[in-house]
């Protein structure tokens, strides 16, 4: 009799424990269901443009972003934190440069602006990480090419044929001393037009915080000449061209 009573009590305890487990599982399931999911956030769209696709080194590089709810018609999203990112080749990894925001007053625009002195060619984009209400949005990628600044070549106004002289000018930013990033094109005035006569490679040298280029040449043919400096496109910079030098008379 005592053995049957013990078995009955053990069974009741097991049944009570099972009921508690079932109840806890139900409560946990309800909590998970009630938690907001990422799919519940509203879609956002981020568009990025550059004020200029090509700028000179040191000039203002300006990016304009527009963040909106991705519906028709779009609704501007203001006072959000938007990342500005850049990459040398337009692919991962992207480097965080700055974080920008805006003010909705006096009216909503969704416009976000970033500016900096242009230093080299980069691919740019903006990124909104999202929040409790809005989904993340990756902006369109825009490439901004940066051109070196080439000073107008200087040269004598007159020189004797076959006599050596120097053609030189300024160059920004600083290039490696001894490298030859600049091509000097010599043009000769023939039949009322300027025609390419010869080209030379000019060497870079340090000049304060920047560089200068120069080349020592001679011209055997008599006539009127002028010079122009150029640099080629590289992974870091776009092609650049200087103004024309003054006229050189070779006698």
Instruction: Annotate 167-184 with DSSP letters as a single string.
Output: EEEEEES---TT---EEE
Side-chain half-sphere exposure of 173, counting CA atoms within 13 A: 13
Q: Do domains 39-147 and 149-250 have the same CATH topology?
A: yes
What CA–CA distance (Å, rounded) separates 68 from 209? 43
Side-chain half-sphere exposure of 170, counting CA atoms within 13 A: 9
Q: What are the domain boundaries of the chain? A: 39-147, 149-250
Give one DSSP letter per residue of 106-119, joined into a string: SS---EEEEEEE--
Tokens linked to 91: 């692919």
Which architecture, in CATH terms, is 39-147?
A: Sandwich (2.60)
What pLDDT does 40 receive?
86
What pLDDT does 152 receive?
98
Determine if the peptide bond prior to 93 is cis (ω within 30°). Answer: yes
User: What count of other Cβ atoms lies within 10 Å of the Cβ of residue 231?
Assistant: 22
User: What count of other Cβ atoms lies within 10 Å of the Cβ of residue 83?
Assistant: 18
CA angle 166, 167, 168 (to 5 degrees): 110
What CA–CA distance (Å, rounded) separates 169 from 242? 9
pTM of the model: 0.78
Residue 188 phi/psi, 5° resolution?
-115, 140
- Per-residue pLDDT of the chain (251 residues), as tens digits, is 444 433 444 344 433 434 433 333 333 333 333 334 356 899 999 999 999 999 999 999 999 999 999 999 999 999 999 999 999 999 999 999 999 999 876 778 999 999 999 999 999 999 999 999 999 999 999 999 999 999 999 999 999 999 999 999 999 999 999 999 999 999 999 999 999 999 999 999 999 999 999 999 999 999 999 999 999 999 999 999 999 999 999 99
Give one DSSP letter per residue of 112-174, joined into a string: EEEEEE--S-EEEEEEE---SSB--EEPPPEEEEEE-EEPPPB--SEE-TT--EEEEEEEES-
Superfamily (CATH H level) for 149-250: Immunoglobulins (2.60.40.10)
* Coil, helix or strand at residue 27: helix
């Amino acid at each position: 009799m005592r053995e049957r009573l013990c078995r009955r009590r053990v069974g009741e305890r097991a049944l009570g424990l099972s009921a508690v487990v079932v109840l806890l599982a139900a409560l946990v399931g309800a909590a998970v269901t009630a938690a907001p999911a990422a799919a519940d956030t509203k879609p956002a769209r981020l568009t990025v443009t550059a004020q200029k696709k090509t700028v000179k080194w040191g000039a203002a590089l300006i990016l304009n972003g527009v963040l909106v709810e991705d519906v028709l018609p779009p609704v501007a999203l203001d006072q959000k934190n938007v990342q500005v990112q850049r990459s040398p080749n337009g692919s991962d990894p992207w480097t965080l440069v700055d974080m920008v925001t805006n003010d909705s007053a006096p009216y909503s625009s969704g416009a976000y602006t970033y500016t900096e002195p242009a230093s080299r060619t980069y691919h740019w984009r903006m990124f909104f990480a999202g929040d409790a209400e809005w989904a993340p949005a990756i902006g369109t990628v825009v490439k901004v090419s940066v051109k070196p600044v080439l000073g107008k070549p200087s040269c004598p106004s007159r020189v004797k044929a076959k006599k050596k002289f120097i053609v030189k000018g300024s160059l920004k930013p600083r290039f490696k001393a001894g490298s030859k990033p600049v091509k000097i094109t010599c043009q000769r005035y023939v039949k009322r037009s300027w025609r390419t006569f010869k080209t030379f490679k000019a060497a870079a040298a340090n000049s304060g915080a920047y560089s200068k280029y120069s080349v020592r040449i001679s011209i055997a043919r008599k006539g009127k000449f002028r010079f122009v400096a150029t640099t080629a496109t590289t992974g870091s910079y776009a092609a650049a061209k200087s103004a024309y030098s003054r006229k050189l008379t070779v006698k």
